[in-house]
Amino acid sequence: MGSAERVDVFISYTGRDWGWASWLDFILREAGYTTKVQGYDFMGPEFCQCDGRGPQAEPSGGLPTVAGLP
Is the model's pLDDT at 1 over the cut of 50?
A: no
Euclidean distance between CA atoms 38 and 34, whole angstroms: 14
Q: What local confidence, expressed as pLDDT, does residue 61 receive?
A: 65
- pTM (2 d.p.): 0.66
What is the mean predicted confidence (pLDDT) over 34-63? 65
37 forms beta bridges with 11
What is the mean predicted confidence (pLDDT) over 22-43? 87
Q: What local confidence, expressed as pLDDT, does residue 38 receive?
A: 80
What is the mean predicted confidence (pLDDT) over 46-59? 54
